[in-house]
Each structure stands twice: as structure tokens, then as C-alpha cells.
């Protein structure tokens, strides 16, 4: 209307149209702000729910550990839970808002286009043909063609986007792993090899990006062509009626504007195809993680599946293995037909050559390895702690690290201090509650193992499983810690895996695993003679009391 008023040089009509524009503009701004608030609030709540849902399922029953042992499309779950979930929850809300806005725009401006454009009448071979709402039909036809071409050209976009996300996840994992193992790499000057490894991963990332670039260029051809042609087509279609005097210049401009708006609404898929592809790829990756978790959950509840059963032991038994077989997730046998009964307070050492399944067996005892068969019986109400070779040190204060996995607020601080002193970590007590210290990097391997023994003194479990838990300690430190838990936790049942012969002194029985066809077996169950333990002790005392040679005032 304002264009017609300008063409007729009607100042009052122009002023009136300008006044009408002001409240319409304010209403449009208010509506836009409201939509943003509603859209982002929905995205926040949806992401919070889905992230918590996936994280809870991932952490439940040690599934985060089991996924590392399984084949399938669930690599880098941490990236899927963070980045892919973000895209998978943000994009659908944006798309919904976009589709609703496009639909409303289409409904509104189709009416304008129908009203302004009217019917097109022309002669064809002596026959008069009338096309009602011809500009609306032209807009719909144009949008269908553009969308169809976009879908055809960009049909590989989803796969390319999914591959890009996986390569980015691998890159992030490699950098995180490099940082976490920085000391070990620096000590052996492994920077060059790490650089080559990162360069190879980066090359893969860039190749994936080149594929995305190729897809983006192809879809841009369609999108840009549609953008350039859209304003021209309605002018060309309206020109016969304008030249015939049945349309004013203002109506032509209004029709062109309405045509562009309608085809933009109809061509929503053309404008959003790259984002739609990214969302599809992220949704697939998040769904793949869900499928893997579903598989684990189904296996946990499937009564027909062959799995290790955990039941309650009879009175007087701390732990019993009844024909326990341990296998990989593909059924490959690791340990077969293990039969062992361990009494409360008994100390048992498991030995065997490398690859005989010692660590796998004790992971099954700790409840971390479900694949296999047989029955593990545990004393009613018994609390089990597991000490791995490389203890986990969480982010936060040393108080939290010593209390882990209990909340630090539920632990007596004086008890923590006493435990740290007992395991020779007294030098760190004055920094017990410092929040920003990276204790995982600050503590040495031996100090981390001492910290794990401090946790035993704090938590006082009924059963403890030690997997090379003193491997980073010298012989004398190992002796001190083993004696410490024997004296302060004398009723605790101990199951150890280790290679050092000195460990025999601190155990009463020794289980020897030997590799056979179909899986290792417990070939021997040996009572460790008291005289043998005394012999170890006497031999160590001789070594300890041997005169030391001096070299410039320092130890040689």
C-alpha cells in the first residue's frame, strides 16, 4: 500500500502507513524475544534431561567400563554425551520454531500473493485459459523443485557430517590422553612420536572437513541460485499484467515481496539442509550410544544369557567361586571352571604368567566383568574395595581424593589425617583442603598407591581386591603398607594379584593360574608355609642390614 501511496504522491496515506508500521514492528520485536526465551529454555531443559539420562545409564553397573571391551559403534562416548547431545537437542527445537514460523509466514503471505496476483488469463491456440492464483502455484512449484534438487545433491551430507564428528572426537581424545600422560611422555622424550600421531589424526580431521566443504559447496549452489532467482521470477510473471495495466507498480513490488517470503517458507529445507544433516549425524551418534547401552542392559536382565551370577555366600565364607568361567564379550574363554573358597580374614595371592587372566578374574570378583558363567558367592552385606595398579585420583581437594568414593563431608577429617600419616603422605596434609591443586599430576605413581591404602584405612572394607597395588613401591614400602593393613584391618579378607615373590610373606594361600586350551585354570591351590614367610622376612633383613657403600656422601 505504501508503494501505491508513493506512486500517487499521497502524503497523508504514506504517513498513515508509517504510523501503522510502528506498533507492528514493536509487536514483532516482542514476539521474537519471547520466541527466543521459549526456544532456549526448552533446549536447556531437554539437554539437561537427555545428558543426565545418558550419563546415569552409562555409569550404571560399570557400563562405561564394559563399553571399552565391546565392539560396535559407540566410540568416544564422552564426546557423544557432550557435543552430540548438545546438537541433537538444540537443532530440533530450532527446526520446530523455524518450521512453525515458515508455516505462519506461508499462510499469511499466500493470501497476500493470491489477492495481489489474482488470476492469469491468456489465449492458447484460440482457447482462453485462466490460472487462478498463478503466483501461488508458481511459488509452490518453485519450492518443490529447489527442495528436491537440494535433497538429491546433498544426499551424502549426513554421512560426511557423522564422519567429521567422529574424527573430531578422536582428536579431542588424543589431546586429552596426551595431557593426562604428559609426565610419562616427557620422561622418555616421546614428543616427536606424539606429534606424528597427532598429525595423522589431524590429517583425517581435515580430510573429513574437505568432504564437508565439498558437500557445502554443492548445496550452496542450490541455495544461492534459489536466493538469486526468487525475486526475479515474480517480477517476470507479473510483467504481463503490469504491461496490460491490470496491476500497479506497487502491486508488482508487493507481489514480489510476498513471493520471496512464501518461497522462503516453502524452501525451509533448502536453507537449513546443512544444519539438518549435522543434527541427523549427531542424533545417530547419540542413538548408537543408547543402542549399545540398551544391549548391555538387556544382557544384564536376560535370564537365558550365560553370565556370571553373584549370590549370597553361606555363613563362614567371605567369598566363593563356584565353577566360574570368565570370557570376552564374543565368547572367547579367558578363565574356566574356577573353584575357590575363601574364609573371612583369609589372605590369598593369585599368581600366574602374563596373559593368564589374573586381572580379568579379579575384575569378575569385583563385579566389573559380567561375561562368562558360574557363580560368585559373597558374604551377606560385605563391602568390597578394589585397588588397581593405577589408582584414580578425582579432581578437587586431597580430602576428596582420600575420601573417594565417599563424599568428603561424610568423612572424619581427623581420620583422614591419621590415615595419610600412616601411609607416609604427611607432607601433603597442610594442603588437605586446597581445591585447585591437580593431585592427579602432583602425586607420583607410588604416592597414588599410598593414597589408595589410606582409603582402605578410612573405609575399612570387609574384602579388598589388590591388583598389583604395590607395583610402584619399593620392597620396604610395600612391606610397611601390607603390615599396616594386616594390623589395623586384621579381619579384612585380602585377595591379591602380584608378581613379586616378597608378597607371599603377607598371604596364607597362593592360587596359581596356568594357561590351557579354552582358558586358564587354577592349577594349584597352595598353602604358604609359615616357615617360608619367615624365610622371606629373614632374607630381607639380611639385605636391609648389609653394609652400604658410600659415594660422595650419597646413596650408591
For 287-326, the pLDDT digits (tens) are 888 888 887 777 666 655 567 788 888 888 998 988 888 8
Is residue 556 in a domain? no
- Which three cell numbers mark 450? 599410598
Sheet holding 319-327, edge to edge: 309-312, 372-378, 319-327, 333-342
Is residue 381 in a domain? yes
Same-domain pairing of 269 and 323: no
* Nearest residue to 213 (alpha-carbon basis) of 152, 160, 267: 160
Per-residue pLDDT tens over the stretch 448-472: 999 999 999 999 999 999 988 888 8
Name the residue with cell 564422552.
78
CB count in 10 Å sphere of residue 374: 20
Bridge partners of residue 437, in order along the sequence: none
Task: List all residues 6 or more positions away from 544 whose beta carbon is below 8 Å from its beta carbon.
Answer: 476
Task: List all residues 6 or more positions away from 490 whose beta carbon is below 8 Å from its beta carbon.
Answer: 345
Q: Are 506 and 486 in contact (CB under 8 A)?
A: yes
Average pLDDT over residues 475-494: 91
Is residue 552 in a domain? no
Same-domain pairing of 354 and 457: yes
The whole-number pLDDT of residue 462 equals 92
Same-domain pairing of 218 and 281: yes
| 239-241-244-247 Cα dihedral, nearest 10 degrees | -100
CATH number of the domain residue 469 falls in: 3.40.50.300
CB count in 10 Å sphere of residue 40: 13
Expressed in angstroms, the distance from the first to the final Cα of the chain is 99
Quote the DSSP letter at residue 370. Answer: -
Confidence class of residue 552 from pLDDT cuts 50, 70 and 90?
very low
Confidence class of residue 64 from pLDDT cuts 50, 70 and 90?
confident
Given a cut of 70, whether residue 539 has pLDDT beyond it is: no
The whole-number pLDDT of residue 545 equals 54
- Which three cell numbers mark 354? 602374563
CA angle 244, 249, 252 (to 5 degrees): 85
d(CA 114, CA 132): 8
Is residue 231 in a domain? yes
Per-residue pLDDT tens over the stretch 167-220: 888 888 888 888 777 766 776 777 888 888 888 889 988 998 888 888 888 888
Given a cut of 60, whether residue 99 has pLDDT beyond it is: yes
Helix, strand, or coil (residue 158): helix
Residue ranges of the alpha helices (H) in 372-412? 398-403
Is residue 111 in a domain? yes
Q: What is the mean pLDDT of the chain?
A: 81
Average pLDDT over residues 242-262: 77
- Residue after which a domain boundary falls, among 283, 301, 319: 301
Is residue 267 in a domain? yes
The whole-number pLDDT of residue 454 equals 93
Same-domain pairing of 279 and 390: no
Name the more confident of 479 and 265: 479
Q: Are 298 and 370 in contact (CB under 8 A)?
A: no
Q: Which of 15-19, 123-127, 360-364 has the highest mean pLDDT?
A: 360-364
Average pLDDT over residues 84-102: 84
The whole-number pLDDT of residue 549 equals 43
d(CA 165, CA 286): 11
Sign of the dihedral defined by the CA atoms of residues 42, 43, 44, 46, in that order: positive
The whole-number pLDDT of residue 302 equals 64
Same-domain pairing of 67 and 189: yes
Given a cut of 50, whether residue 90 has pLDDT beyond it is: yes
d(CA 39, CA 76): 29
Is residue 447 in a domain? yes
Same-domain pairing of 240 and 333: no
Confidence class of residue 536 from pLDDT cuts 50, 70 and 90?
low
d(CA 135, CA 123): 18
The whole-number pLDDT of residue 425 equals 92
- Residue after which a domain boundary falls, among 277, 301, 325: 301
Same-domain pairing of 288 and 327: no
The whole-number pLDDT of residue 556 equals 39
The whole-number pLDDT of residue 141 equals 83
- Residue after which a domain boundary falls, among 278, 301, 324: 301
Average pLDDT over residues 107-128: 71
Sequence-distant contacts of 194-200: CB under 8 A, at least 24 apart: 198/171, 198/174
Q: Are 54 and 290 in contact (CB under 8 A)?
A: yes
Lowest-pLDDT range of 10-24, 512-526, 528-542: 528-542
Name the more confident of 352 and 436: 352
- pTM exceeds 0.85, yes or no: no
Same-domain pairing of 271 and 360: no
Average pLDDT over residues 428-436: 84
Given a cut of 80, whether residue 77 has pLDDT beyond it is: yes
CB count in 10 Å sphere of residue 229: 13
Distances (CA, A) of 334 to 174, 259, 299, 304, 342: 30, 70, 19, 21, 22
CATH number of the domain residue 36 falls in: 1.20.1560.10
Phi, psi of 324 (to 5 degrees): -85, 125
Domain that holds residue 502: 309-545
Total structural domains in the chain? 2
Confidence class of residue 542 from pLDDT cuts 50, 70 and 90?
low
Is residue 550 in a domain? no
Same-domain pairing of 266 and 356: no
Given a cut of 50, whether residue 505 has pLDDT beyond it is: yes
d(CA 32, CA 38): 10
Lowest-pLDDT range of 44-53, 221-230, 448-457: 221-230
Longest C-alpha distance within the chain, in Å? 124
Q: Are 320 and 376 in contact (CB under 8 A)?
A: yes
Same-domain pairing of 223 and 325: no
> Residue 262: is it exposed, middle or buried by C-beta count within 10 angstroms (0-12/13-18/19+)?
buried
The whole-number pLDDT of residue 553 equals 42
Same-domain pairing of 459 and 409: yes
Same-domain pairing of 243 and 337: no
* Portion of the chain with pLDDT greater than 90, in percent: 11
Pairing type for strands 309-312 and 372-378 reads parallel
The whole-number pLDDT of residue 82 equals 85
Amino acid at each position: 500500500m505504501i508503494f501505491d501511496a508513493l506512486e500517487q504522491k499521497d502524503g497523508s496515506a504514506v504517513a498513515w502507513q508509517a504510523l501503522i508500521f510502528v506498533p507492528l514492528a514493536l509487536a514483532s520485536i516482542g514476539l521474537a524475544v519471547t520466541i527466543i526465551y521459549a526456544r532456549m529454555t526448552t533446549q536447556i531443559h531437554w539437554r539437561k534431561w537427555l545428558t543426565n539420562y545418558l550419563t546415569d545409564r552409562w555409569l550404571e553397573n560399570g557400563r562405561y567400563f564394559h563399553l571399552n571391551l565391546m565392539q560396535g559403534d559407540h566410540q568416544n562416548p564422552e564426546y557423544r554425551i557432550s557435543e552430540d547431545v548438545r546438537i541433537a537437542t538444540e537443532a530440533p527445537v530450532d527446526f520446530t520454531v523455524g518450521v512453525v514460523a515458515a508455516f505462519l509466514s506461508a499462510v499469511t503471505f499466500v493470501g497476500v500473493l493470491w489477492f495481489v496476483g489474482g488470476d492469469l488469463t491468456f489465449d492458447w491456440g484460440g482457447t482462453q485459459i485462466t490460472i487462478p492464483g498463478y503466483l501461488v502455484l508458481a511459488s509452490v512449484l518453485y519450492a518443490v523443485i529447489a527442495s528436491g534438487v537440494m535433497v538429491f545433491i546433498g544426499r551424502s551430507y549426513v554421512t560426511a557430517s557423522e564422519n567429521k564428528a567422529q574424527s573430531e572426537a578422536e582428536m579431542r581424545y588424543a589431546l586429552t590422553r596426551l595431557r593426562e600422560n604428559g609426565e610419562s611422555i616427557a620422561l622418555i622424550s616421546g614428543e616427536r612420536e606424539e606429534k606424528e600421531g597427532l598429525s595423522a589424526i589431524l590429517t583425517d580431521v581435515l580430510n573429513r572437513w574437505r568432504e564437508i566443504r565439498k558437500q557445502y559447496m554443492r548445496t550452496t549452489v542450490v541455495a544461492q541460485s534459489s536466493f538469486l532467482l526468487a525475486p526475479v521470477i515474480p517480477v517476470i510473471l507479473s510483467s504481463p499484467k503490469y504491461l496490460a495495466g491490470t496491476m500497479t507498480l506497487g502491486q508488482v513490488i508487493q507481489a514480489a515481496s510476498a513471493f520471496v517470503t512464501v518461497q522462503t517458507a516453502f524452501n525451509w529445507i533448502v536453507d537449513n539442509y546443512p544444519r539438518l544433516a549435522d543434527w541427523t549425524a549427531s542424533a545417530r551418534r547419540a542413538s548408537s550410544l543408547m543402542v549399545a547401552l540398551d544391549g548391555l542392559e538387556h544382557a544384564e536382565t536376560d535370564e537365558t544369557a550365560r553370565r556370571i551370577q553373584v549370590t549370597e555366600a553361606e555363613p563362614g565364607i567371605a567369598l566363593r567361586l563356584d565353577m566360574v568361567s570368565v570370557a570376552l564379550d564374543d565368547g572367547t574363554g579367558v578363565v574356566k571352571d574356577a573353584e575357590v573358597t575363601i574364609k573371612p580374614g583369609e589372605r590369598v595371592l593369585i599368581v600366574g604368567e602374563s596373559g593368564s587372566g589374573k586381572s580379568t578374574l579379579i575384575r569378575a570378583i569385583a563385579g566389573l566383568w559380567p561375561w562368562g558363567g558360574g557363580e560368585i558367592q559373597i558374604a551377606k552385606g560385605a563391602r568390597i574395595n578394589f585397588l588397581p595398579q593405577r589408582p584414580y585420583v578425582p579432581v578437587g581437594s586431597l580430602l576428596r581424593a582420600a575420601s573417594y568414593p565417599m563424599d568428603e563431608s561424610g568423612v572424619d577429617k581427623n581420620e583422614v589425617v591419621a590415615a595419610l600419616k600412616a601411609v607416609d603422605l604427611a607432607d601433603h596434609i597442610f594442603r588437605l583442603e586446597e581445591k585447585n591443586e591437580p593431585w592427579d599430576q602432583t602425586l607420583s605413581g607410588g604416592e597414588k598407591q599410598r593414597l589408595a591404602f589410606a582409603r582402605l584405612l578410612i573405609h575399612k572394607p570387609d574384602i579388598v581386591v589388590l591388583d598389583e597395588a604395590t607395583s610402584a613401591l619399593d620392597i620396604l614400602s610395600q612391606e610397611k603398607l601390607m603390615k599396616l593393613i594386616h594390623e589395623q584391618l586384621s579381619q579384612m579378607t585380602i585377595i591379591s594379584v602380584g608378581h613379586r615373590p616378597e608378597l607371599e610373606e603377607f598371604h596364607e594361600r597362593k592360587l596359581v593360574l596356568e594357561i590351557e586350551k579354552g582358558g586358564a585354570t587354577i592349577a594349584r591351590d597352595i598353602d604358604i608355609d609359615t616357615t617360608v614367610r619367615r624365610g622371606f622376612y629373614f632374607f630381607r633383613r639380611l639385605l636391609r642390614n648389609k653394609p652400604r657403600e658410600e659415594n660422595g656422601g650419597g646413596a650408591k
